Structure 1
């Protein structure tokens, strides 16, 4: 983490207590270790020797995860990145899609239509591919069913979003009935009747978001037993991606 990146987020991290035992490790070292963990895809005990002790890093990770701090940091840097790109900090449109990953250690997993055993990532991204909202479920859950939770969360967290693009898997009556609110539209982008591969308008953006995720080796598969831990790992990766982009502008 560069000095510019650290200066941008240090004010959002918990401050050291004025009483009690002093911190044995710097918060910047902990964040560097967490970023290394997700980027390299290693286990907790395989962190480099010159980083903070893995017990300390794991303890801080659980504490920050319970405070939803990784989620907050990702949202903050996302809004800053949008403003630097000349857009409003709150998006008005997005794209939804899902991705199935193998999850050998997951507490709950299922099979999708392609017979892949694992979990599904149901995400909503803005029209530039920035991750807005996410829901992790068993792979056996249909896209249209899990999307109801995603849409409800998007309406609460990003009230400016009024238009979402989706593929044919989301064209289901229960989902369409749920989103029938004034000013909110879910547009289903159909495949074009043509031979060979064709990039669908608006739909390719969310595929790039999935591509950004799997560049972090910890996210290539779902190694976590608990879904909330897996979500925190994704927030660390996406927050670090946006933060690095802001620092290099």
Structure 2
């Protein structure tokens, strides 16, 4: 039974050629985690975004604008406006960009994932369950937030 459960929590995304799991996150403007959802790699971005933003909108009532990358286009923009009164702004690459370019406001999420990679246990996917993988992300962000709170603030007197 364990083997069956493990196979179900992993998948293959043919678009990005990712085998295993994917982390869908919602972060605020400082890059601090609002919510995370770990899914099998074959779960689509739009389906995961609907579930994740249900959680975020329920917990953070003053949220008004959500920025997302090009994978979250389509009917999702209208859905969020109608269901949550949230504006979903899609940050897209222009056609003339070549290589890896971090887009404006997208760097906040890229920096978040870089912080996760500083936690050794999150570099590789060792967890059997998606709930354990989500807990490890929350644990990593707790470490980051406590480090930020504990560092001395210069200029305060």
Confirm or deny a common fold (TM above 0.5): yes
Structure 1's consecutive aligned runs of 4 or more residues displaced over 6 angstroms after TM superposition are none
1:163 lines up with 2:65 in the alignment: yes
Checking the alignment, whether the CA contact within 8 Å between 1:109 and 1:138 is kept in structure 2 is yes
Alignment match, 1:110: 11
Q: Secondary structure at the residue paired with 1:190?
A: coil
**TM-aligned CA deviation for residue 238 of structure 1:** 0.4
**TM-aligned CA deviation for residue 108 of structure 1:** 1.6
Alignment match, 1:136: 38
Checking the alignment, whether the CA contact within 8 Å between 1:106 and 1:224 is kept in structure 2 is no
**TM-aligned CA deviation for residue 160 of structure 1:** 1.2
2:142 counterpart (239, 242, 249):
239
1:184 lines up with 2:59 in the alignment: no
**TM-aligned CA deviation for residue 224 of structure 1:** 0.8
**TM-aligned CA deviation for residue 115 of structure 1:** 2.5
1:153 lines up with 2:153 in the alignment: no
Distance 2:7 2:136 in 1: 14
Checking the alignment, whether the CA contact within 8 Å between 2:77 and 2:87 is kept in structure 1 is no
Distance 2:109 2:144 in 1: 15
Q: Secondary structure at the residue paired with 1:140?
A: coil
**TM-aligned CA deviation for residue 106 of structure 1:** 6.3
- Give aligned pairs, total: 144
What does 1:1-150 align with in structure 2 at a 5 Å threshold?
Answer: 108-112=9-13, 113-150=15-52
Distance 2:22 2:98 in 1: 27
Q: Secondary structure at the residue paired with 1:246?
A: helix
Distance 1:171 1:208 in 2: 22
Distance 1:196 1:149 in 2: 32
Q: Which has the higher contact order (CA 8 A, sep 6+)?
A: 1
More off after superposition, 234-243 vs 107-116:
107-116
Q: Secondary structure at the residue paired with 1:179?
A: helix
Structure with higher Rg: it is 1
TM-score by length of 2: 0.84
Q: Secondary structure at the residue paired with 1:149?
A: helix
Structure 1: runs of 5 or more not aligned: 1-104
**TM-aligned CA deviation for residue 199 of structure 1:** 3.0
Quote the RMSD (CA, aligned, Å). Answer: 1.7
